[in-house]
Amino acid sequence: MSEASIRACFHRTLPAVALLASLFAVSGARAQTDLLNVSYDPTRELYREINAAFIAEWNAANPKKIRGIRQSHGGSGSQARAVIDGLNADVVTLALAGDIDAIAGRAGKLPKDWQARLPHNASPYTSTIVFLVRKGNPKGVTDWGDLVKPGVQVITPNPKTSGGARWNYLAAWAWAERAFNRDEARVRDYIAALLRNVPVLDTGARGATTTFAQRGIGDVFLSWENEAHLALAEFGAGRLEIVYPQLSILAEPPVAVIDGNVDAKGTRAEAEAYLRFLYTPKGQAIIARHHYRPREPQHADPKDVAKFPLLTLVTIDEAFSGWGKAQPVHFGDGGTFDQLYKPGR
Amino acid sequence: MSDASLPAAALPRGRLARQDGAAARIVLIALALGFLALFLALPLAIVFIEALARGWQAYLGALADDDALAAIRLTLLVAAIAVPLNVVVGVAGAWAIAKHEFRGKSLLVSLVDLPISVSPVIAGLVYVLLFGAQGYFGRVLASYGVEIIFALPGIVLATLFVTFPFIARELIPHMQALGNAEEETALTLGASGWRTFCMVTLPNIKWSLLYGVLLCNARAMGEFGAVAVVSGKIRGLTTTMPLHVEILYNEYMSVAAFAVASLLALLALVTLAAKSFLEWRYADQIAASRRH
């Protein structure tokens, strides 16, 4: 290759380089006019609909338009970690308060009393943990006690990374405390036996759903109520069915504006309006349609509300004195989960 | 035992061994082919079958989706930045290692190999530790409004890290085999160092370089682990094609997921075809340049 041909080659590639540079510029400019909602796994379908409804409403009333709301989904714990490490979220909509506490504590990007800034502990919807089993319930799983029977394979994600899995774990713990009259040794035996029946721990709820429903692994899947309904819709009611245990936990997935990020980006007004939209009648109706339990069911379609059976729901505050206590005791380094989960033994 | 009896006894045994050899050969070939069909060809075929499960229209529709296009654009952009940089650094590194003697050379050789032995997740995490908001340079970068992690620069850095060895590793053994004689001749005839490189070294190594670029490009576009750690998974903004495939699959959109996956699979096939074609078309030249 001569010098001349190298030079010619260089000139030929110049337009391509310029084109690529322009692509870069376009994507850079777009990033500034968007909101970013960093969320947990099962909310993909919910926020797709919420986002479209909110953008339409906001853009009709405000001169400063929102071009789009970007979504990032993953296990609640790992998403919180990403925000702490600098993921530029305007709002977080995670699976549990403990994860937003971690953002407040480690990154200091929002005040510690963030949960008091919106109604209902900053949770516009609640959910609970139910059992998803194969059609006809071949292993006869009806309540928490059945999960430790030999030969029953239980699918649940990893509580270290998944918010849903932490609710699963605490729901099982709360049931056992009642069933064994607060005898802690028996509660721990029960949880250890339950974990021995778990063949694989996925990092997020959605991965676990696919493991159970698509790959056909396991007999019972401890699932968010909304995720169970979604799986039914996706994979057909002919293959799976939902079993409601007698007692479960009231899961309150909270939402928060990340003050440090919205103030830097100048998106505070949009971000706050976005979260408030979740509490409006329109927002509550969409929430119920996606099988989350709305805080104000009177605004939702009665047909959607009828799908939520009544069951005893314990709260994290009454059973575990809040996430501030439950997080380190059960899921911290060396917590009960670390003590009781012994894979491959 | 007499000497005369030896050949008589050895003959049938030899025939038996040859028959054994033929049988073993067939079994081994069948085993290898079966294995390849089951674990390579079948999965690859399934990617295309699943992608076209609802017809061409659904397939093309999935690829024309805004987020899919953004993922394709980002993947091309990352490769367009990472591959040329690796060409420059890889050629420079290989040149230094193959043609010169210096202190710390063996250390440099090991460093070139490092990304192959390090898990891609670690590659992503070290950049989070360096440039993340809580990282060593995080606060300084944030005060200037520079975003590295969860943005394009982080994805490029992670890709550079995992693809770095491909070009240098392809070049080093070839350049070592070529030796210094031609370059020395050019220099004694009065050519400048740069001219020697362009007119002597580069033409000699162009085939190895091309292989390196093909492999490096395939890996750059296909990298998942390292990129997943630094991407933040913002749909349509920081998701490359492999990440987008995972997102779509998790959203139960299997046609769309496999449509994007089929593009990646096509890339692999095109890479393979290009490599085979070049080997066939320029077989004599390649052999000549290897013989030097």
**pLDDT per residue of chain B (292 residues) written in tens, 0 to 9:** 444 444 444 445 555 555 667 888 999 999 999 999 999 889 999 999 999 989 999 999 999 999 999 999 999 999 999 999 999 999 999 999 988 888 888 898 888 889 988 899 998 999 999 999 888 898 888 888 888 999 999 999 999 999 999 999 999 998 988 888 888 899 899 888 889 888 988 998 988 899 899 989 999 999 999 999 999 999 989 999 999 999 998 888 889 999 999 999 998 888 888 888 878 887 777 776 665 5
pLDDT in tens, A154-188: 999 999 888 889 999 999 999 999 999 999 999 99
pLDDT(A267) > 90: yes
Residue entry with tokens 């990304």: B115
Residue of chain A whose Cα is closest to the Cα of B233: A72
pLDDT(A23) > 80: no
A33 touches chain B (CB under 8 A): no
- When CB atoms are compared, the residue of B132, B195, B202 closest to A86 is B132
A82 touches chain B (CB under 8 A): yes
State the SS3 of B235-270.
CCCCCCHHHHHHHHHHCCCHHHHHHHHHHHHHHHHH
- Are A118 and A253 spatial neighbours (Cβ–Cβ below 8 Å)? no
Neighbour count for residue A309 (Cβ, 10 Å): 10
Dihedral sign of CA atoms A326, A328, A330, A336 in order? negative
- Are A96 and A251 spatial neighbours (Cβ–Cβ below 8 Å)? yes
DSSP class of A292:
P
Angle at A33 between CA A121 and CA A262, to 5 degrees: 35
B134 touches chain A (CB under 8 A): yes
Give the number of beta-carbon pairs within 8 Å between A and B: 84
Q: In sequence order, what are the residues at sequence separation of 6 or more whose Cβ sits closer than 8 angstroms to the Cβ of residue A89?
A: A36, A37, A38, A72, A83, A258, A261
Considering only CA atoms, which of A70, A87, A89, A78 is closest in space to residue A41? A78
Neighbour count for residue B206 (Cβ, 10 Å): 15
The fraction of chain A above a pLDDT of 70, given in percent, is: 90
Q: Which two tokens mark A165?
A: 């899995």
A1/B233 touch (CB, cutoff 8 Å), yes or no: no
Distance from CA of A134 to the nearest CA of B (A): 19
Neighbour count for residue A8 (Cβ, 10 Å): 11
Rounded to whole angstroms, the Cα distance separating A129 from A245 reads 9
Rounded to whole angstroms, the Cα distance separating A80 from A89 reads 10
SS3 (DSSP) at A314? strand
pLDDT in tens, A82-127: 999 999 999 999 999 999 999 999 999 999 999 999 999 999 999 9
B73/A27 touch (CB, cutoff 8 Å), yes or no: yes
A210/B247 touch (CB, cutoff 8 Å), yes or no: no
Q: Do the interacting molecules here have an ipTM over 0.90?
A: no
Band (pLDDT 50/70/90 cuts) for residue A27 is very low
- When CB atoms are compared, the residue of A27, A44, A86 closest to B149 is A86
Considering only CA atoms, which of B135, B160, B131, B157 is closest in space to residue B146? B131
Distance between first and last Cα of chain B: 56
- When CB atoms are compared, the residue of B80, B237, B251 closest to A31 is B237
Rounded to whole angstroms, the Cα distance separating A234 from A217 reads 17
Rounded to whole angstroms, the Cα distance separating B228 from B224 reads 6
B134/A87 touch (CB, cutoff 8 Å), yes or no: no
Considering only CA atoms, which of B236, B86, B250 is closest in space to residue B169? B86
- When CB atoms are compared, the residue of B80, B198, B236 closest to A1 is B198
pLDDT at A29: 40
pLDDT(A13) > 60: no
Chain B residues with CB under 8 Å of A107 CB are 133-134
Phi and psi (nearest 5°) for A274?
Answer: -60, -45
Distance from CA of B153 to the nearest CA of A (A): 11
Chain A residues with CB under 8 Å of B142 CB are 86
- Beta-bridge partner residues of A132: A221, A242
Considering only CA atoms, which of A10, A319, A328 is closest in space to residue A170? A319
Best residue in B227, B235, B253 for a mutation probing chain A (most A CBs within 10 Å): B235
A49 touches chain B (CB under 8 A): no
Q: Distances in Å between the alpha carbon of A339 and those of A77, A98, A173, A190, A336?
A: 20, 20, 14, 13, 5
Residue entry with tokens 């990472």: B82
The pTM of this model reads 0.81
pLDDT in tens, A275-305: 999 999 999 999 999 999 999 999 999 999 9
Residue of chain B whose Cα is closest to the Cα of A106: B134
B234/A86 touch (CB, cutoff 8 Å), yes or no: no
B133 touches chain A (CB under 8 A): yes
Chain B residues with CB under 8 Å of A2 CB are 198-199
- When CB atoms are compared, the residue of B149, B152, B236 closest to A70 is B236
B252 touches chain A (CB under 8 A): yes
pLDDT at A72: 95
- Are A163 and A99 spatial neighbours (Cβ–Cβ below 8 Å)? yes
Chain B residues with CB under 8 Å of A84 CB are 133-134
Q: Which two tokens mark A64?
A: 């400063």
B249 touches chain A (CB under 8 A): yes
- Are B86 and B167 spatial neighbours (Cβ–Cβ below 8 Å)? yes
Best residue in A22, A72, A214, A232 for a mutation probing chain B (most B CBs within 10 Å): A72
B134/A82 touch (CB, cutoff 8 Å), yes or no: no
pLDDT at B59: 93
Distance from CA of A332 to the nearest CA of B (A): 20
Rounded to whole angstroms, the Cα distance separating B31 from B23 reads 12
Distance between first and last Cα of chain A: 64
A87 touches chain B (CB under 8 A): yes
pLDDT at B46: 92
Mean per-residue pLDDT over chain A, rounded: 88
Band (pLDDT 50/70/90 cuts) for residue A8 is low
